[in-house]
Structure 1
């Protein structure tokens, strides 16, 4: 009888210890970045041995197909290939329009994508450290700069852009009507400025610079006087994917330290877009991005 009683006491003590351990584990899981967090997306990626990246495939020189073949390349594409390689993962690219990227991350269709971080986006998504620095410019018609001499002159103009991009929000902030496109190539946006269907395209300096160079027959150029709103590009991923964020940041840091990031930037942009530009630029107040 005593032996049975002692066994019962030992069993109860063991259960109590196991319960305490379980409570301790649960209290650390999901508490943010660092040790003890649970990152289901990272676990899924490791299990598959593959990371799925959303990209446009239409924006030279960031993400595009080389002429005459189906080879996807560009700065953001090659950065992600290098990141995946350093994480010892295979990589698959999913071609998406900009307006579909964030919903695709939330649904699990893709794991990550290049994106400008904003306060609102950071409430719903994790972001890596920036890997590209730039600023905002306008494509306008050469003969009269589309009658735009200041940001305030955007009022009443037609601006080509994606429905949910920061650049379209800037246009709307200053009173422009946004003419939206799907996952259209540079040519569609730029031709419409040339032929007068739209007046302006607001976008990243590097994308605009090389987009214009592709179509010398169009009567368009970068606005000579308007350079504004410094920007960064980072890698967006699901909220609380803290281990995935850390792994990507480690790979990007290695690439920055060994010069790979600079080499890729110069290869595609002819300038080192991995460094902050040495320019004075106007920021824009009152944007709820």
Structure 2
């Protein structure tokens, strides 16, 4: 009987230890399961950091632009109220809509846009900006959303004098400060550059004969020629290796840039940008 009792006791202990081990394994599995959602939550939190998270938390995205560059962005009196419009503005509205936030627009000189972006005073830039190598050192760009040729604007009375790029040599040329057009003008032999922050001011310089010509993107130059009988668009078409416009965000804001690119992709696929260019060109000429 003593042997039998001992055997029963041993078997009982084996069963207890086995059940305890199973219970331990079960608890271990639960612990592992509990860690997984926590890890997922941590990953989700990581995805929500950066400028994109700040924008969604604030419920608004702040656009930096230079609103005197029709049809890209410009001021227009609508229902008695000064309003910033343009096809770049329509793009910005669509980006805000896709992010589920409001759009705030900050208007400033073109040359200040990237500095304000770096300081965090604006969240992104849309201003007919060309993503050249120099700018790309400071900020990240989307893919090109609109390609435009360059144009040369002169006084109508002088139009016959300007037929080729050589005719611009040695002339006083107005360009927007910090722009692609400034770089083009810097390559013209003997050209005397007048760089200002606003195209509207440059047009006044042209009309008052302080400069001989202006270089601007073709839709802009065409718009001024169409609405000013004393100005004319020449046949000259300056070339620049980096053309087209892109959206700028601060370096490292991959999440925000990816969301912006999604919006641009569907707008390009749906040909909405081409539609807005036509519509806003017409609005700028009214």
TM-score by length of 1: 0.73
1:136-156 Cα shifts (integer Å, max 9, x gaps): 111123334384443244332
Deviations 1:30-84 (A, max 9, x none): xxxxxx7786222221221211001122222221221342222111111111111
Moved more, 67-76 or 143-152: 143-152
- Counterpart position of 1:235: 247
Structure with the greater alpha carbon radius of gyration: 2
SS in structure 2 at match of 1:71: strand
Inter-partner Cα distance in structure 2 for 1:222 and 1:88: 41
Aligned mates of 1:136, 1:254 — CA distance in 2: 26
Which residue of 245, 249, 255 corresponds with 2:261?
249
Relative distance call for 1:161 and 1:74 in structure 2 (3 A) is: same
RMSD: 2.7
CA–CA separation in structure 2 for the residues paired with 1:240 and 1:45: 15
How far the C-alpha of 1:260 sits from its partner, in A, is: 2.6
Instruction: Identify the residue that residue 235 of structure 2 maps to in structure 1.
Output: 224
CA separation of 1:70 and 1:269: change in aligned 2, threshold 3 A: closer
Could you list the per-position Cα deviations for residues 247-269 of structure 1 after superposition, in whole angstroms to 9, with x for gaps in the alignment? 00001112223343232222123
Tell me which residue corresponds to 1:196: 209
**Aligned equivalents of 1:135 and 1:225: distance in 2?**
11
From 53, 56, 66, the equivalent of 2:66 is 56
Which of 105, 108, 120 lines up with 1:108 in the alignment?
120
Gaps of 5+ in 1: 1-28, 30-35, 271-289
Q: CA deviation at 1:123?
A: 1.9
CA shift in 2, pair 1:97/1:225, >3 Å: closer
Give secondary structure in 1 for the equivalent of 2:247.
strand
State the TM-score, normalizing by the size of structure 2: 0.74
Match of 2:51 in 1: 41
Task: State the partner residue of 1:282.
Answer: none
Does the Cα contact within 8 Å between 2:165 and 2:236 map onto a contact in 1? no
CA distance in 2, matches of 1:91, 1:261: 18
C-alpha separation between the residues in 2 aligned to 1:236 and 1:99? 14
Give the paired residue count. Answer: 236
2: CA distance, partners of 1:189 / 1:178:
11
- In structure 2, relative to structure 1, the CA distance for the partners of 1:165 and 1:258 (3 Å cut) is closer
Structure whose residues are more often helix by fraction: 2
Provide the rounded CA distance (Å) in 2 between the counterparts of 1:269 and 1:76: 12
Q: How far apart, CA to CA, are the structure 1 residues paired with 2:145 and 2:68?
A: 20
The CA deviation at 1:181 is 2.1
Q: Residues of 2 paired with 1:47 and 1:38: CA distance?
A: 10
Paired residue for 1:206, among 202, 213, 219? Answer: 219
Where in structure 2 are the equivalents of 1:45-84 lying within 5 Å?
A: 45-67=55-77, 68-84=80-96
The answer to whether the Cα contact below 8 Å between 1:51 and 1:111 also exists between their aligned partners in 2 is yes
Deviation at 1:165, TM superposition (A): 1.5
> 3-state SS of the aligned residue for 1:64?
strand
